[in-house]
Amino acid sequence: GPSWLQPPGTAATQSPRKVPRRPEPGVCGPAHWGYVLGGRDRGPDEYEKRYSGAFPPQLRAQMRDLARGMFVFGYDNYMAHAFPQDELNPIHCRGRGPDRGDPSNLNINDVLGNYSLTLVDALDTLAVMGNSSEFQKAVKLVINTVSFDKDSTVQVFEATIRVLGSLLSAHRIITDSKQPFGDMTIKDYDNELLYMAHDLAVRLLPAFENTKTGIPYPRVNLKTGVPPDTNNETCTAGAGSLLVEFGILSRLLGDSTFEWVARRAVKALWNLRSNDTGLLGNVVNIQTGHWVGKQSGLGAGLDSFYEYLLKSYILFGEKEDLEMFNAAYQSIQNYLRRGREACNEGEGDPPLYVNVNMFSGQLMNTWIDSLQAFFPGLQVLIGDVEDAICLHAFYYAIWKRYGALPERYNWQLQAPDVLFYPLRPELVESTYLLYQATKNPFYLHVGMDILQSLEKYTKVKCGYATLHHVIDKSTEDRMESFFLSETCKYLYLLFDEDNPVHKSGTRYMFTTEGHIVSVDEHLRELPWKEFFSEEGGQDQGGKSVHRPKPHELKVINSSSNCNRVPDERRYSLPLKSIYMRQIDQMVGLI
């Protein structure tokens, strides 16, 4: 079998990989990846001919318009056939809401809360594409028709990233004095989206109560709180990826409650990591702190936990977040990364990140899942571009083989383990960020391949449908909201060189749901820093302060208001630019 089956080495023979690496630019040649595609090796001439040349401006404009048209086709059909329900069934041209007849259908009910999910999730995509009239119309519809006073039991994580994040992103777009996307202001706007975000977050707060570890329950009923028969087990990503949205809300409101509970959950999970490896598992009991799922990897159950350690630092400037991320990244390199040290030289197979036991670092299985395709984009953000190039090439090779990314791919058997593709954005996201980092036209070709595959295999009568089977290309009647909020957005931005995201001079970051957030000093104001110490400490004046107890949260929350509390303390730690040195050579394909 490939070297990915072998442990990364013993402590006596192998020193930890230093990160981030900055070797000279290189390529992952086609021959290196022939194994992954079952020996379908091709000579370099084909790849040189297709990918190394420039991407003509006319073709780029054509692909940009195709990406916009893809969004418009999905969005218009949702509005015509599904609104005000949560999702569009694109094959039968009708709407979909929560499955009231089967509360155990978590695949649907975790996500759909009977709050016009697709419309809410798509708001900032309308703005990024410069459609001010539809953005203004959609915002007014959300304000006038969407309510969270619903008897819906939803997953805290999904409600946070899809709904809360979108409301906050749209609010900041409306209130941005520079208006870089065109006139996105709303006449007589009175912070309604911010009030709605606050209302939703308050309804999610019961998840953080009556938990012995501080790690939240996975689900809440928006009317009644935590269901009496709720599960005490939650995934690491679901419980530990709330800090960006909750932190933004807290800092806009001047109310520490939301950031405090989210940060407490992150710290609780972090303190449960293995003392030997530094790794975390993927499922934990929120009452006992016992790891129910001991798998450590980069995909489902853990992905956005790592992502939000870094992105929380970028937004809020808290050194502790960066320290946790750096430690986690080093453990990932030491125990999950297999293959040779460098992408383009040395013995063995190209690098790959595998799933291991969190305590021993031993291989647990031989599959990767499609969510892991986000990781090259995260590596771009920290400057580990060389490794990002190679890892991205692995996922793109799988896409090239099937015209989609199967939910799980077994790299030992060279075949999918789970065959569906629900229009996920992670590979597109990494492609976009790698293009921004390298300006290599190879990634425009990748984006074009993805666009054409989506048009060919997933477009149906009233939108774009989930692929049920990536081999026979059969479809399922579902278009998840992230297709409009992320997949279409990243494809559009990849080809829209002159978009304000790239030209306005404002630094932007994307949440894990692809919602755009400007990075500025206002989000680094922190008037309640003393609350985040474990045992209390001293404020700037040297006075003793204490950490609030769980029963004090309601007291803190009672002082909520929608006026940001002014504070002179600023955090101006420098951010690392994702615009790294240009990669001179083409990335080879599998």
* pLDDT tens column, 327-353: 999 999 999 999 888 877 777 788 899
The structural domain count of the chain equals: 1
Domain annotation covers residue 296 = yes
Q: Could you tell me which residues are beta bridge partners of residue 418?
A: 408
Element holding 380 (H helix, E strand): helix 375-382
Polymer length in residues for the chain: 590
Instruction: For residues 409 and 423, give the distance between their C-alpha atoms in angstroms, rounded to a whole number.
Output: 16
The amino acid sitting at 551 is H
> Taking phi first (over 0 means left), then psi (-120 to 50 degrees means alpha), and beta for anything else, what does residue 31 get?
alpha
Q: What is the mean pLDDT of residues 450-461?
A: 98
CA 220/CA 201 separation, integer angstroms: 11
pLDDT tens for residues 500-522?
999 977 789 999 999 999 998 88
86, 121, 124, 158: the active-site residue? 158
Q: Are 486 and 512 in contact (CB under 8 A)?
A: no
Cβ contacts of residue 65 below 8 Å, gap of 6+?
Answer: none
Gap between the Cα atoms of 99 and 104, Å rounded: 9
Distances (CA, A) of 276 to 237, 279, 527: 21, 8, 37
Q: Note whether residue 351 is domain-resident.
A: yes
Both structure tokens of 570: 């600023």
> What DSSP character marks residue 162?
I
Average pLDDT value over all residues in the chain: 85
Interval 165-192 mean pLDDT:
97
| Three-state secondary-structure class, residue 463 | strand
pLDDT digits (tens, 9 = 90+) for 217-228: 999 999 999 999
Could you count the other beta carbons within 10 Å of the beta carbon of residue 270? 18
Q: Give the separation between CA 447 and CA 496, rounded to whole angstroms.
A: 12
**Under 8 Å between Cβ of 363 and 46:** no
CA distance 111 to 157: 9
Task: Please list the residues that pair with 381 across neighbouring strands.
Answer: none
pLDDT in tens, 111-147: 999 999 999 999 999 999 999 999 999 999 999 999 9
Q: What are phi and psi of 434, to 5 degrees?
A: -65, -35
Between the CA of residue 108 and those of 87, 149, 421, what are the distances in Å?
10, 19, 16
Give every CB contact of residue 566 below 8 A, 6+ residues apart in sequence: 525
Considering only residues 536 and 317, tell me which one the structure prediction assigns the higher pLDDT: 317
Q: What is the pLDDT of residues 239-272, one digit of tens each?
A: 999 999 999 999 999 999 999 999 999 999 999 9
CA distance 169 to 180: 14
What pLDDT does residue 17 have? 57
> Is the CB of residue 51 less than 8 Å from the CB of residue 445?
yes
Residue 262 lies in a domain: yes
Residue 134 sits at φ, ψ, to 5 deg, of -75, -35
Q: Is residue 36 part of a domain?
A: no
E strands of 254-400, at which residues? 283-285, 291-293, 295-296, 337-338, 352-353, 356-357, 367-369
| Residue pointed to by tokens 């590979």 | 427
Catalytic residue of the set 384, 407, 480, 525: 407
Counts for the chain of helices (H) and strands (E), in that order: 22, 22
The question of whether 158 is a catalytic residue gets the answer yes
Question: Is residue 292 assigned to a domain?
Answer: yes
What is the token pair recorded at 334? 């030491």
**Cα distance between residue 555 and residue 50, in whole Å:** 63
pLDDT value at 34 more than 80? no
The active-site residue, picked from 192, 255, 303, 318, is 303
Q: How far apart are CA 204 and CA 221, in angstroms?
A: 8
Q: Using CB atoms within 10 Å of the CB of residue 24, give its burial: 0 to 12 exposed, 13 to 18 middle, 19+ buried.
A: exposed
Q: Which domain holds residue 322?
A: 235-365
Q: Is 118 annotated as a binding residue?
A: no
98/105 Cα distance (integer angstroms) = 9
Active site residue 407: yes
Question: Has 303 been annotated as catalytic?
Answer: yes
**What backbone torsions phi and psi does residue 352 show, to the nearest 5 degrees?**
-150, 150
Asked if residue 443 lies in contact with residue 433, where contact means CB atoms within 8 angstroms, the answer is: no
CB-based contact 563:557 (threshold 8 Å): no
Assess if residue 254 is contained within a domain. Answer: yes
pLDDT at position 585 over 60:
no
Q: In terms of Cα–Cα distance, which of 470, 441, 430, 440 is closest to 453? A: 470
- Catalytic site residue from 384, 386, 426, 477: 426
Is this structure's pTM higher than 0.95? no
Q: Domain for residue 322, yes or no?
A: yes
521 belongs to the catalytic site: no
Contact by Cβ (8 Å): 366, 5: yes
Contact (Cβ atoms closer than 8 angstroms) between residue 280 and residue 236: yes
Contact 224, 236 (CB under 8 A): no
Q: Is residue 559 part of a domain?
A: no
pLDDT number for residue 37: 39
